[in-house]
Amino acid sequence: MATIYDVAKQAGVSPKTVSRVLNGDGPVNAETRQVVEAAMAELGYVRSNAARMMRATRSGLVGLVTGAISTSIDPTRPTGLPDLFIVQGVQAVLAKAGKTLMIADTAGRQDSVPGLMRTFLEHRVEGLIYVADHHKEIASPGVPSQVPLVLANCFDAAGTPAIIPDDRAGQQGLTESLIAAGHRRIAYVTLMGEMVATRLRLQGYHDALAGAGIAADPALVAAGYREGYAQDGALVENAIDALLALDRPPTVICFGNDEMAMRGYGILRSRGLAIPDDISVAGYDDYRAIAETLFPPLTTVELAYRQLGEVAAAQLLARIEGQSDLPQQTLVPGPVRWRQSVRRLTA
Amino acid sequence: MATIYDVAKQAGVSPKTVSRVLNGDGPVNAETRQVVEAAMAELGYVRSNAARMMRATRSGLVGLVTGAISTSIDPTRPTGLPDLFIVQGVQAVLAKAGKTLMIADTAGRQDSVPGLMRTFLEHRVEGLIYVADHHKEIASPGVPSQVPLVLANCFDAAGTPAIIPDDRAGQQGLTESLIAAGHRRIAYVTLMGEMVATRLRLQGYHDALAGAGIAADPALVAAGYREGYAQDGALVENAIDALLALDRPPTVICFGNDEMAMRGYGILRSRGLAIPDDISVAGYDDYRAIAETLFPPLTTVELAYRQLGEVAAAQLLARIEGQSDLPQQTLVPGPVRWRQSVRRLTA
DNA sequence: CCTTGACATGACATCGGTGTCATGACATCA
DNA sequence: TGATGTCATGACACCGATGTCATGTCAAGG
């Protein structure tokens, strides 16, 4: 591959002049510039990033570590990649700031994180982002403290700056919307109980009920996932049947995510119920491939992953610029997406 | 950040000895090694990739350009990111080969490709992969011919090595399976007509019919998308109603993808038809978030994107190693995923 | 006892750019 | 007319690692 010296020789000037043409700093005679540019074109010159990095203080690189790309290997969650919207948001903000993004994937093995982080440090990244596939607590990635690090969709015990979805407010908002639409018997079929999101959303659900003066009925809350197991079709069916068998059955069922809601559509219909005429359904995530395509389209709560990525990147940039008075935890709200799967009850 | 000289001074040895400890080449006294390692740990030394690249012939980097991450910005395709499985497959193979993957995203704008390619070349990547979001023809990315380039999920007129899904064989295999299950009236609701996949799959559909001696009935083929428009709910409904109104209606409807099939579920049920008892349904893509979660689970054809990525990476590695007798076009087959949405008809 | 070779280590040049400083040719100004 | 400033360009050192070659020490072999 051609070097700046080759170009210089070809053009009959010094390497430094070629450098000036490349970077547009010092003055260069218009004629000389043309000769140099012709030489570069002829030799197919591309400048070496390695060499210029030797002198530069800043690399212009940001590293992102994620399990998102390969999460789907995990058999307990064979499904979506919506968490990649986080990467998308990060990418957009960083590109605008002129940074180049390096992405590495854990390939599902958490123990590969240190090695990946190290590779990034060898490339002298200016900052690091760790993206989790769902809202959870993680072990703190061991990174020298002088390199800014931001966690997206997760948090650690060490207090590393974290950007996470506001699951509590999300489910509260949805529940309040349902109440405003006239619903009083609101069922909730949860994700796995040990998940952070489950705890927070359940809290939001209860907060909304309490705020409206509606007594919480434990019989209306059921588990759609069993700990340690993959999504269990039978469990969702059982949960739904139990809800339908209640003396005062729910008028609406909220599911822990859109996939479960999709499954719910099929199960409810096989029980002879029309959606939303006989029973209303809501999901969570705004997994648009499902929510918008289902018939009828699904009312759900947007998991604002793209925005989450944008916020994470913006905070990282701020930290790179030296700001230190940034919040340790940032909640990203998720708006309710109202569609036709919920019927408005006339009071 | 500490350099190899800092470590050398701290340990009281020459930089070269530190280098030897780092790389484990030349012999180093066990005691000396310990002292050096202690110094490295104390200073938090991380070697500079830029500096070592100066001397190295090989960068160990591979660049991947994709619109996959941001494709969803495109309002006409608001849905999935299953094409990211390609990235996943690439990543897995490259990681095994000890290469580091750099990913750049077009952010939806095709004109950003040259700039991204250039950035990669500045990093002296050993090879490049271009990933498209769906099977299509693209304008040839202008890349110096000495850098190996492989196209994944797309092809160009210049004959750049391309890895693409075998859409024809996929739909043919599905159709043959349906015929084997006793179906004779097989409908096909297509994606947009100008898509490469649509043409190939339609061909596979006809090949299968011809192979079984079944006359093709043009009335059984309908368009589910209109050119230039997003997925049009009304169009799918009209297509289905037209099929159901035929004198000899189909016993099974194949949809152009799983999302359309999901929509089909809702529409068919709203017409009072049970799946698969009254009518069978098949999709395409094996978009598992949908296919496995639908009730009943959807028979479909796997778009072996992960494998496609693996093949692309493997071919790129071979080209990097200097092999040149590799095929210009490689078809990746997609197996039929048989689930409960298709009823076996007793003859 | 001297030669030979393995071991352990260091001096130095080099990779490809860029920052600093120097130089020569003119133009401008007092 | 001489002093000063600007333009255009080049010489040289330097960034941080590593390849090459040289050097010194010590043990084995003749």
Phi then psi for A298, rounded to 5 degrees?
A: -95, 130
Q: In whole angstroms, what is the distance from residue B187 CA to residue A322 CA? A: 62
pLDDT at residue number B313:
97
Paired sense of beta strands B336-337 and B300-301, if any? antiparallel
Peptide bond into B161 cis (omega under 30): no
Mean pLDDT computed over A159-172: 97
Give the nearest chain A residue to B269 (CA atoms): A269
Interface of A with B in 261-290 (CB under 8 A): 262-263, 265-267, 269-270, 287-290
**Residue among B53, B103, B294 minimizing CB distance to A50:** B53
B69 interaction partners in chain A (CB closer than 8 Å): 84, 87-88, 91
Helical residues (DSSP H) of B44-187, grouped into ranges: 49-55, 84-96, 113-122, 167-180
CB atoms within 10 A of CB B226: 13
pLDDT at B287 over 90: no
Question: What is the residue-wise DSSP string for B238-302?
Answer: HHHHHHHTSSS--SEEEESSHHHHHHHHHHHHHTT--TTTT-EEE-SB--HHHHTTSSSPPBEEB
Q: In whole angstroms, what is the distance from residue B67 CA to residue B158 CA? A: 21
A293 interaction partners in chain B (CB closer than 8 Å): 79, 231, 259, 262-263
Q: Do B292 and A78 touch (CB under 8 A)?
A: yes
Which amino acid is located at B64 in the chain?
L
Least confident of A61-70, B32-41, B142-151, B187-196: A61-70
Model confidence band, residue A88 (pLDDT cutoffs 50, 70, 90): confident
Distance (Å) of CA A79 to CA A83, A178, B81, B292: 11, 28, 11, 9
Q: In whole angstroms, what is the distance from residue A147 CA to residue A320 CA? A: 8
Computed over every residue of chain A, the mean pLDDT equals 89
> How buried is residue A238: exposed, middle or buried, by Cβ count under 10 Å (0-12/13-18/19+)?
middle
CATH 3.40.50.2300, applies to A61-165+305-334: yes
Protein CA B23 to sugar C1' D25 (Å): 24
Mean pLDDT computed over B115-133: 91
Q: In whole angstroms, what is the distance from residue B347 CA to residue B281 CA? A: 19
Least confident of A190-194, A311-315, A335-339, B299-303: A190-194
Mean pLDDT computed over B308-326: 94
Helices first, then strands: H and E counts in chain B: 12, 12
Residues of chain A above pLDDT 90, percent: 65
Length of chain A: 347
Q: Are A36 and A29 in contact (CB under 8 A)?
A: no
Q: Do A54 and B50 touch (CB under 8 A)?
A: yes
pLDDT at A164 over 60: yes
Q: Which one of 3.40.50.300, 3.40.50.460, 3.30.9.10, 3.40.50.2300 gives the CATH number of domain B167-303?
A: 3.40.50.2300
Please report where in the chains the tokens 């212009």 appear, as a residue. Answer: A60
**Residue among A59, A91, A102 minimizing CB distance to B102:** A102
Chain centroid to CA A67: 11
Say yes or no: do domains B4-55 and B61-165+305-334 share a fold.
no
**What fold characterizes domain A4-55?**
434 Repressor (Amino-terminal Domain) (1.10.260)
Q: Are A241 and B271 in contact (CB under 8 A)?
A: no
Q: In whole angstroms, what is the distance from residue B65 CA to residue A183 CA? A: 48
Q: In whole angstroms, what is the distance from residue B106 CA to residue A95 CA? A: 10
Q: In whole angstroms, what is the distance from residue B144 CA to residue B98 CA? A: 24
Nearest Cα of chain A lies from the Cα of B207 at a distance, in angstroms, of 31
Residues of chain B above pLDDT 90, percent: 65
B88 interaction partners in chain A (CB closer than 8 Å): 69-70, 72, 105
- Interchain contact B70–A (C-beta under 8 A): yes
Give the nearest chain A residue to B80 (CA atoms): A289
Structure tokens at A290: 């499902």
SS3 call for A22: helix
Interface of A with B in 125-144 (CB under 8 A): 144
> How buried is residue A12: exposed, middle or buried, by Cβ count under 10 Å (0-12/13-18/19+)?
exposed
SS3 content of chain B, % helix, strand, coil (to 5): 40, 15, 40
> How buried is residue B263: exposed, middle or buried, by Cβ count under 10 Å (0-12/13-18/19+)?
buried
> How buried is residue B110: exposed, middle or buried, by Cβ count under 10 Å (0-12/13-18/19+)?
exposed
Is any atom of nucleic acid chain C found less than 7 Å from the CB of residue A112? no
**Residues near chain D (nucleic strand), Cβ < 7 A?**
A 12-17, 20, 26-29, 31-32, 51, 54-55; B 1, 3-5, 15-16, 19, 22-23, 25, 45, 47-48, 50-52, 54-56
Domain boundaries, chain B: 4-55, 61-165+305-334, 167-303
Structure tokens at B28: 């180093």
Model confidence band, residue B224 (pLDDT cutoffs 50, 70, 90): confident
Residues in Cβ contact with B17 at an 8 Å cutoff, skipping those fewer than 6 apart = B8, B11, B28, B32, B36
pLDDT at residue number A8:
95
Residues in Cβ contact with B51 at an 8 Å cutoff, skipping those fewer than 6 apart = A50, A54
SS3 call for A242: helix
Instruction: Pick left, alpha or beta for residue B122 (phi over 0 → left; psi -120 to 50 → alpha; otherwise beta).
Output: alpha
Q: Are A74 and A296 in contact (CB under 8 A)?
A: no
Q: Are B112 and B97 in contact (CB under 8 A)?
A: no
- Interchain contact A41–B (C-beta under 8 A): no
Q: Do B124 and A47 touch (CB under 8 A)?
A: no
Q: For residues A143 and B9, which has the higher predicted lDDT (pLDDT)?
A: B9
pLDDT in tens, A281-322: 999 999 888 888 888 899 999 999 999 999 999 999 999 998
Helices first, then strands: H and E counts in chain A: 12, 12
Sign of CA dihedral A102, A107, A110, A114: negative
Structure tokens at A3: 């070097």
**Residue among A49, A87, A121 minimizing CB distance to B46:** A121
Peptide bond into B276 cis (omega under 30): yes
Helix (H) or strand (E) holding B332: strand B329-332
Helix (H) or strand (E) holding B137: strand B127-137
Distance (Å) of CA B158 to CA B65, B200, B328: 18, 21, 10
SS3 call for B317: helix
Model confidence band, residue B229 (pLDDT cutoffs 50, 70, 90): low
Q: For residues A68 and B293, which has the higher predicted lDDT (pLDDT)?
A: B293
Model confidence band, residue B69 (pLDDT cutoffs 50, 70, 90): low
Closest Cα partner for A7 from A49, A35, A48? Answer: A35
pLDDT at A66 over 70: yes
> How buried is residue A247: exposed, middle or buried, by Cβ count under 10 Å (0-12/13-18/19+)?
exposed
Closest Cα partner for A285 from B287, B289, B295, B133? Answer: B289
pLDDT at A42 over 90: yes
**Residue among B105, B265, B267 minimizing CB distance to A91:** B105
Q: Are A87 and B69 in contact (CB under 8 A)?
A: yes
Q: For residues B329 and A77, which has the higher predicted lDDT (pLDDT)?
A: B329
pLDDT at residue number B73:
38
Helix (H) or strand (E) holding B42: helix B30-43
